[in-house]
Amino acid sequence: MARLCEGRIVIVTGAGRGIGKAHALEFARHGAKVVVNDIGANVDGSGSSDGPAGEVVDEIRAMGGEAVVNGDDVSDWEGAQRLINTAVDTFGGLDVLVNNAGILRDRMLVNMTDAEWDAVIRVHLRGTFAPARWAANYWRERSKEGLANNARIINTSSASGIYGNVGQSNYGAAKAGIASFSIILSQELARYGVTVNAIAPAALTRMTENLGFAPQDNDPAKFDSFAPENVSPLVVYLGSEQSAPITGRVFDIVGGHIDVAEGWHAGPSINKDDRWTVEELSELIPDLVEKAAKNADMSGRISK
C-alpha cells in the first residue's frame, strides 16, 4: 500500500471516537505521526476522560505507528497553543491540522437557551479558530526563517451548515462559519505554503445516531455507507503533499460519494444607475427570486 503521509506530523482534534478516531488511524496507516486530541466529553460537551484518546494511541502503536495523547480543550486559547506545541515538542514539527472536535445541543430556536447556543459555537467555531491560529503562527515563523512549508488545515463543516437542518441553528451557524473560515484562510495562508480545505461528512456516530443515520444492512460483509471510516481517505489525501494544488474547497462526503460543494455565488440580478424605490422593488423582487435557483436540501441537491 502506498503511504501518502509517510513521516508527516498530524494533529486530529476530537480523535477519541467516531470520525476523528477513523482519521487518526488512517493517517497512522499512511505513515503519519499523530497527535490524538480528545477531552473525552459526552456528546453535549459535558464530562471528560482521557480513556478514548489513550485507546486510539494504543491502537496506533500496536500497528507500529507513532502517536501521543493530548487532552487540551481546543476552544481554550492557551489549550490550543499547548496542542500545537505537543506536536512540535514531541515529533519536531507540524504538517497537518485536522479540526474535527464538536458537540451537539440540538434545540428548536424557540426553546434554545443562550448557554446551548454559546457552548456549540465555542466548541465548533472557536475550537476551529484557536488551533488554526496557533498552527498558522508556527508556519508563518518557519516561513520568516526561510523554511518551506507543505502544510495543511482540514476543517469539518456539515450539511447542516452549508444547506441547513431544522433544529440545529446553533450547530449549523457554527458549521457555516467554518466553511467560510476555511475559504478565507486558504487565501490568507497560501503565502506560507499552507492549503486549507473543509469536509462536510455524513456518518453514523454518537453525534448523529439520533438524526436518522443507520446502517443500510445488518450484513457486515456489505458496504456500510454510514461508517465513519468512509470519510477518512479523503482527509488523508487532503493532508498529503499530493493535494498541494487544492485549497479553499468544501467537500461533501458520505459513503462512496464525494462532491465539491459550490458556495454562495451571484444569481439573477437587476441593476439601474440610481437608488431603488420600495415601490419598484415590490414589483421586481418576486420575479427575481422566481428566476433564482432554490436552496439545496440536506443532500446538497436542488429540487426542480
Active site residues: 158, 171, 175
What is the spatial distance between Cα 94 and Cα 88, in angstroms, rounded to a whole number? 6
What is the spatial distance between Cα 130 and Cα 136, in angstroms, rounded to a whole number? 10
Sign of CA pseudo-dihedral 207, 213, 214, 216: negative
DSSP state of 242: G
DSSP tally for the chain: helices H, then strands E: 9, 8
What is the spatial distance between Cα 151 and Cα 192, in angstroms, rounded to a whole number? 9
Sign of CA pseudo-dihedral 64, 69, 74, 80: negative
Q: Which three cell numbers stand for residue 237?
A: 489525501
What is the spatial distance between Cα 69 and Cα 15, in angstroms, rounded to a whole number? 10
Angle between helical axes of 232-239 and 18-29 (0-180°, round to 10): 50
Query: Is residue 45 a contact partner of residue 52, using CB atoms and an 8 Å limit?
Result: no
Look up residue 291 and give its amino acid.
K
What is the spatial distance between Cα 22 and Cα 43, in angstroms, rounded to a whole number? 17
What is the spatial distance between Cα 251 and Cα 159, in angstroms, rounded to a whole number? 10
Query: Is residue 184 a contact partner of residue 132, using CB atoms and an 8 Å limit?
Result: no
With H, G, I as helix, E, B as strand and everything else as coil, classify residue 278: helix
Using a 10 angstrom Cβ sphere, with 0-12 exposed, 13-18 middle and 19 or more buried, the burial of residue 107 is middle
